Amino acid sequence: MRTVKEIYELVASKAPVETKLDFDNVGLLAGSLKWETEKVLLALDITSPVIEEAVERGAGVIVAHHPITFGIKKVSDESIEGKKLLKLLENRIAAVCMHTNLDAADGGVNDALAEVLGVAGAETFEKERTARIGFLAQPTPMTELLARLKAALKTKGLRYYDSGRPACRVAFGSGSCGSHFHEAVRAGCDTFITADIKYDLFLDAQELGVNLIDADHFCTENVIMPPLKAWLSEAFPDLEVAISSRHRQIVEFF
């Protein structure tokens, strides 16, 4: 048996909570550090299906990327957040959430994304450390890059703008990093990969002659699940650590 405290401290040692962005809400967001468990469930989001899965598995902790709440004022069954928190507490399941601190961490979300994308020598190029810039092994036509990304990220589809230039110096950020697009262009990138891209950035990409790819929020962040499982399994061989089988890309393409 392991305590929630041990699990929390291990994850926090990899992604220090003090490195989170100001708006964020991370750490132990439900439950008690004193609770004990033999099973941990990992998920990008703590959704109702994920909670049901944790109950069925007998998991005492869910370690997730996105916070289950950013500032709920009351816990009741009158809201979606309240219902989920009640379900967790009723079943003695703790919620540990590591968000922007895990994005920026060494070996965290964006480093995992770099590995999946095949970007070498990735370095941060903005002060929040939530996005990276590096090089592909060789200049790559967009058609080839898109096919490779779709397979590597296991996404159902990609939104993109093809400038006609091959991709070489690539900037990327997991989740919603569109605000760093122009910083990436100033840093000399020819391709930018992130998610939740607004229409105006596609227009800017056309004007600036830069490739732009929206690879889905879930898919650009779910890459952290295998490393997160490895951290916990290596530190606590006696724990049963599983990645949720019910949380997946929810966006569909007709």
The total of structural domains in the chain comes to 2
Which pLDDT belongs to residue 140?
A: 97
Q: Compute and round to an integer the Cα radius of gyration of the chain.
A: 19
Residues 6 or more apart from 3 whose CB is under 8 A from it? 33, 34, 35, 36
Q: Which domain holds residue 68?
A: 2-101
In the listed set 78, 101, 124, which residue is the last one of a domain according to the structure?
Answer: 101
Is residue 55 located within the same domain as residue 144? no
CA 236/CA 4 separation, integer angstroms: 12
Task: Please check whether residue 96 lies inside any domain of the structure.
Answer: yes
Which pLDDT belongs to residue 214?
A: 98
Task: Please check whether residue 185 lies inside any domain of the structure.
Answer: yes
Q: What is the DSSP letter of 22?
A: T
CA 222/CA 203 separation, integer angstroms: 28
The CATH number of the domain holding residue 154 is: 3.40.1390.30
In the listed set 77, 101, 125, which residue is the last one of a domain according to the structure?
Answer: 101
Which pLDDT belongs to residue 93?
A: 98
pTM to 2 decimal places: 0.94
Which pLDDT belongs to residue 205?
A: 98
pLDDT (tens place) for every residue of the chain, 254 residues total: 899 999 999 999 999 999 999 999 999 999 999 999 999 999 999 999 999 999 999 999 999 999 999 887 778 888 899 999 999 999 999 999 999 999 999 999 999 999 999 999 999 998 888 899 999 999 999 999 999 999 999 999 999 999 999 999 999 999 999 999 999 999 999 999 999 999 999 999 999 999 999 999 999 999 999 999 999 999 999 999 999 999 999 999 99
At 133, the amino acid letter reads I
Task: Please check whether residue 29 lies inside any domain of the structure.
Answer: yes
Is residue 112 located within the same domain as residue 189? yes
CA 165/CA 205 separation, integer angstroms: 12
